[in-house]
C-alpha cells in the first residue's frame, strides 16, 4: 500500500464524536472506543489542522428510545424525514457523557462542530442533518479555509463517520477514512455494507501507518 504524504495547507483531520457516551462505560459504547484514542492522538501529531465533531442532543431528543413509549433502543421508527434508529439516551448537552474522552488530546483542535441539537431531527453527518437537507455549515467553513482533503477518524465507523465521509466526498473533498482510528457499533452487521458503499463512492480506506 502506498503512503499518503500530508499537505500542511490543504489537509485536515476530522475526529468524529470521541465522547464518553460512545466509549466503554458510556450509554452507547463501542467495543474499541478506547483503543482508537492513542491511534488518533498519534495521528494528530502529523496534521497541521484538526477539527472535532460533538454529538450534542437536548434531553428530549426524538432519536432517544425513551421518548417513544413502548420502544426499545435499536428499534426503528418513522420520522417525517424517513426511518430513524432509536438509541439509548446519549450525549445530552452539558453532561459528562457528552464530553470528549479525557485521553483524547483536543488541545490543537481548531473547530468543534456540534450536531444533533434540534430535538426533532437527528444528525449523523457532520455536514447535513438526517433530513439530508439541513446543513451544519461545515462545508462553507472548510471551503473558506481552503481544505481540499479530509481524513476521518472516530465513532462510529458505520454511523457518524460513514455519513460524514460520504457527504464529504459528495461535497467535493478528497476523502480518506483512517480505519484503525475508527470504532464501529455494527448493530446489524452493517459495517461491511457501509465499507463497500464508501469504497464505491471513491473514498479511500487506509491504515494510520500509511499516512505520513
Q: Is 17 in the site for Zn ion (CB under 5 A)?
A: no
**Selected binder of ligand VGL within 43, 92, 126, 159 (CB under 6 A):** 159
Least distance from C-beta 130 to ligand VGL, angstroms?
A: 10
160 binds, among ligand VGL, Zn ion, none (CB under 5 to 8 A by kind): ligand VGL
Least distance from C-beta 2 to ligand VGL, angstroms?
A: 29
Residue that is written with C-alpha cell 450509554 in the block: 27
**Grid cell for residue 138:** 461545515
Q: Is 87 in the site for ligand VGL (CB under 6 A)?
A: yes
Q: Is 89 in the site for Zn ion (CB under 5 A)?
A: no
The residue among 12 and 162 lying less far from ligand VGL, judged by its C-beta, is 162
Least distance from C-beta 121 to ligand VGL, angstroms?
A: 12
**Selected binder of Zn ion within 32, 55, 129, 179 (CB under 5 A):** 55
The single-letter DSSP state of residue 157 is: I
Strand ranges of the sheet holding 204-206, from the earlier edge strand across to the other edge: 109-115, 50-55, 11-16, 149-155, 174-183, 204-206
DSSP 31-98: TTTTTHHHHHHHHHTT-S-EEEEEE-B-TT-TTBGGGSTT--TT-EEEETTEEEE-B-S--BTTSGGG
3-state class (DSSP) for residue 176 = strand
Residue 83 sits at φ, ψ, to 5 deg, of -75, 140
The residue among 10 and 58 lying less far from ligand VGL, judged by its C-beta, is 58
Task: Give contact residues for ligand VGL (rule: CB under 6 A).
Answer: 17, 22, 55, 87, 155-156, 159-160
Amino acid at each position: 500500500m502506498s503512503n499518503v504524504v500530508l499537505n500542511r495547507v490543504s489537509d485536515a483531520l476530522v475526529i468524529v464524536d470521541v465522547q464518553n457516551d460512545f466509549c466503554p462505560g458510556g450509554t452507547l459504547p463501542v467495543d474499541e472506543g478506547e483503543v482508537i484514542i492513542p491511534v488518533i492522538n498519534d495521528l494528530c501529531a502529523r496534521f497541521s489542522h484538526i477539527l472535532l465533531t460533538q454529538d450534542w442532543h437536548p434531553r428530549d431528543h426524538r432519536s432517544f428510545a425513551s421518548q417513544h413509549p413502548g420502544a426499545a433502543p435499536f428499534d426503528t421508527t418513522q420520522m417525517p424525514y424517513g426511518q430513524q434508529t432509536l438509541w439509548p439516551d446519549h450525549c445530552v448537552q452539558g453532561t459528562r457523557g457528552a464530553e470528549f474522552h479525557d485521553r483524547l488530546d483536543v488541545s490543537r483542535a481548531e473547530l468543534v462542530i456540534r450536531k444533533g441539537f434540534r430535538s426533532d431531527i437527528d444528525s449523523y453527518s457532520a455536514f447535513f442533518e438526517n433530513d439530508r437537507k439541513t446543513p451544519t455549515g461545515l462545508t462553507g467553513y472548510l471551503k473558506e479555509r481552503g481544505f481540499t482533503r479530509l481524513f476521518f477518524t472516530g465513532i462510529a465507523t458505520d454511523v457518524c463517520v460513514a455519513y460524514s465521509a460520504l457527504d464529504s466526498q459528495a461535497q467535493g473533498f478528497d476523502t480518506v477514512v483512517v480505519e484503525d482510528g475508527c470504532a464501529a457499533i455494527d448493530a446489524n452487521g452493517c459495517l461491511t455494507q457501509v465499507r463497500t458503499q464508501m469504497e464505491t463512492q471513491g473514498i479511500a480506506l487506509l491504515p494510520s501507518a500509511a499516512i505520513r
